[in-house]
Structure 1
Amino acid sequence: MRPTVPNYVSKDSATVGSALHEAEQSLESAGVEGARLEATLLLGHVLGYSRAQLLATLLDPLTEDQASRFFELTTRRANREPLQYLRGRAPFLDFELEVHPGVFIPRPETEQVVEHTLKVWDPTAGWAIDVGTGSGAIAIGLARRNPRGRVLAVDQSPIALATAAGNAVRLGVHDRITFVQADFLRALSLSSSNIGIIVSNPPYVANNDEVDPEVRYHEPRKAWASGPTGMEAYERIIPESAALLGSRRYLVLELGYGQEKAVRGLIRESGSWAKPHVLADLSNIPRVLSVCRERHP
């Protein structure tokens, strides 16, 4: 169904409140969840206002340029472009990351990966390696929360690496993160004595799985689609980590829905790991798996 087109752009008396109301209706008709909040965030982006400021100015008129810009963004969002791309930023932990097309948008679930990694990573034991850094969410989260630590952020996408490096500079942690273009871990020249932990939110969606249109048509496919089974990234990361990690060093992985059993099987096959520990997310879905290396081959 074609989304309803807001008509506030043609109104001489368009106000903050009327524009928000019509944008909300447009987004709802397009199937966008949380339409009221998203309309508020988009208009706040156009005006440079916080949500509180918008609520205090509902009767204020919009200029023609403001209404036109808001109309453009609302129409694009109704066509299912990600909100984060339209605003140019995404919240993560206690900071915001710049994101744009070509860069995977960080999800709230990945915050749990960072929080758990901080509990099991001893920065004096070596670097944290973030495999598939994307916007730099995990790497920057680790560097901000643990000033003693050094992080190696790996991604095969030059667009993602440039964005992540820019985020690290803006957030003041660029001196503790090294960015490297590589496909997973095998091509890196690393010594196990320098590695404290390996962490990853890998692509874990199967090619034919159903995903939201925001993901399928706008986010970089290699960042979310792993292959025919959805397990292909784990099949590389786990054995490559086993070859690199020394004794009592951890591997921390974000899990896709229903993948815990298969990931545990891959860990058993690669040998010499302790029993994995799995944490569920707020929906009680197994989301974070951590496992300690018992000995280095």
Structure 2
Amino acid sequence: MDLQLTIRRGAERLAAAGIASCHTDAELLAAHAWGLSRAQLQLQALSGTGAHPADPQQTRFWELIEERARRVPLQHITGFAPFRWLELRVGPGVFVPRPETETVVELALQHLRTLHSEGVRAPRVVDLGTGSGAIAASIALEFPNAEVHAVELSAEAAAWAQLNFQRLPATASKVTLHQCDLRDFPQQWSQDPAGGGSSFDVVVSNPPYIPPHMVPVEQEVRDHDPEIALYGGGPEGLELPAAVVSAAVTVLAPGGRLILEHAEVQAEAVAGLCRAEPALTSVQSHQDLTGRQRATSARVRSTSEPAA
């Protein structure tokens, strides 16, 4: 059986299990089994390379296909999740980063570039609820002049984040991980000798925000993403997003920026949380790549700005 046919039959098995991305997943699992990049695999498949049933890679491929058919997340099987320019290590106990969060990173980077043009050479950034470290690691890689901090409560997720921070190239910023509840971070930071109570220029966060009654339909999310990373608390899932807004008001310097991810249906409510804080102004909703209102930003008023 040639490799192309093997992949096609693997995709058929995944399609029968209800997996929409069946062909892509089959290709990625084959690449993982044969130890190739996806591009290398596609070249071999197009060249008609054989895949003998007795090959250990063939056996491994079908084991991976069956694991994926049981709706184990693809990223848990391969151990990696692509995110912007990174290949993040992920697995059980940590939320798998999603493409929409890349928009949140870009918003943070846009503000950092503005600060740089204004002469701020070493802006300070904190990612509240870092999970796998996707946001913090991306900022550290793409804006190496920043001083980056990451906050995570879950010990399992913090371990994955630390692994991803350690895998950053030497050209990236060092990321300092704080294992604590994001609601406790402002007080801990004020007492941290390393920070000396100084303020941040950017607070960015993709906190848990799912309401308790909205159990995810997608089996991979429902059964494998940790509940601590999904449910935001309170009847509308807004308890932790509200805590992020409150923390941002405490730790941001005048002129500092808050950037917060949320569900599309929560855009108006999150904007309301920001507007309810007298210290915040310039509240704005932002669309992800599919045109959905998935993030909100706000700015801390300068000392000379009157409250609205």
Alignment of 1:145 onto 2:142: yes
Q: Return the alpha-carbon distance in structure 2 between the equivalents of residues 248 and 45 of structure 1.
A: 46
Q: Return the alpha-carbon distance in structure 1 between the equivalents of residues 244 and 165 of structure 2.
A: 24
Return 52-61 or 224-233, whichever deviates more. 52-61
Alignment of 1:275 onto 2:275: no
User: Quick check: 1:197–1:245 contact (8 Å CA) kept in 2?
Assistant: yes
Q: Return the alpha-carbon distance in structure 2 between the equivalents of residues 73 and 206 of structure 1.
A: 33
The aligned residue for residue 193 of structure 2 is none
Which of residues 2, 21, 27 in structure 2 aligns to 1:40? 27
Q: Return the alpha-carbon distance in structure 2 between the equivalents of residues 76 and 208 of structure 1.
A: 29
The aligned residue for residue 77 of structure 2 is 86
The aligned residue for residue 216 of structure 1 is 222
Deviation at 1:178? 0.4
Deviation at 1:240? 2.1
Alignment of 1:57 onto 2:64: no
Query: CA 1:152–1:278 in 2, change beyond 3 Å: closer, same or farther?
Result: same
1:83-162 paired onto structure 2 within 5 Å = 83-121=74-112, 122=115, 124=121, 126-162=123-159
The aligned residue for residue 9 of structure 1 is none
TM-score between both structures, scaled by the size of structure 1:
0.89
Q: Return the alpha-carbon distance in structure 2 between the equivalents of residues 52 and 155 of structure 1.
A: 35
User: Quick check: 1:279–1:289 contact (8 Å CA) kept in 2?
Assistant: yes
The aligned residue for residue 10 of structure 1 is none
Q: Residues 177-214 of structure 1: CA distance to partner in whole angstroms, max 9, x if unpaired?
A: 10010101434223663311111011111122142110
DSSP 3-state at the match of 1:138? helix
Q: Return the alpha-carbon distance in structure 1 between the equivalents of residues 50 and 111 of structure 2.
A: 51
Q: Residues 229-257 of structure 1: CA distance to partner in whole angstroms, max 9, x if unpaired?
A: 22121121112221222211111101212
DSSP 3-state at the match of 2:282? coil
Deviation at 1:69? 1.4
Give 5+ residue unaligned stretches, structure 2: 191-195
Query: CA 1:165–1:217 in 2, change beyond 3 Å: closer, same or farther?
Result: same
Alignment of 1:169 onto 2:156: no
Return 51-60 or 216-225, whichever deviates more. 51-60
**2:13 maps to amino acid:** S
Q: Residues 15-66 of structure 1: CA distance to partner in whole angstroms, max 9, x if unpaired?
A: 3223212111111111111211110000100101223332333341234422
User: Quick check: 2:6–2:51 contact (8 Å CA) kept in 1?
Assistant: no
Which of residues 257, 260, 264 in structure 2 aligns to 1:253? 260
Q: Return the alpha-carbon distance in structure 1 between the equivalents of residues 4 and 104 of structure 2.
A: 39
Q: Return the alpha-carbon distance in structure 2 between the equivalents of residues 189 and 147 of structure 1.
A: 22
Q: Provide the identity percentage.
A: 36
Deviation at 1:125? 6.5
**2:97 maps to amino acid:** P
Q: Return the alpha-carbon distance in structure 2 between the equivalents of residues 239 and 61 of structure 1.
A: 57
**1:132 maps to amino acid:** G
The aligned residue for residue 3 of structure 1 is none
User: Quick check: 2:33–2:60 contact (8 Å CA) kept in 1?
Assistant: yes
User: Quick check: 1:276–1:290 contact (8 Å CA) kept in 2?
Assistant: yes
DSSP 3-state at the match of 1:81? coil
User: Quick check: 2:122–2:145 contact (8 Å CA) kept in 1?
Assistant: no
Which of residues 176, 179, 186 in structure 1 aligns to 2:177? 179
User: Quick check: 1:192–1:245 contact (8 Å CA) kept in 2?
Assistant: no
Q: Return the alpha-carbon distance in structure 2 between the equivalents of residues 246 and 53 of structure 1.
A: 48
Q: How many residues align?
A: 284
Q: Residues 57-111 of structure 1: CA distance to partner in whole angstroms, max 9, x if unpaired?
A: 3341234422221111111111111111111001111121111111111111111
Q: Return the alpha-carbon distance in structure 2 between the equivalents of residues 55 and 180 of structure 1.
A: 42
TM-score between both structures, scaled by the size of structure 2:
0.86
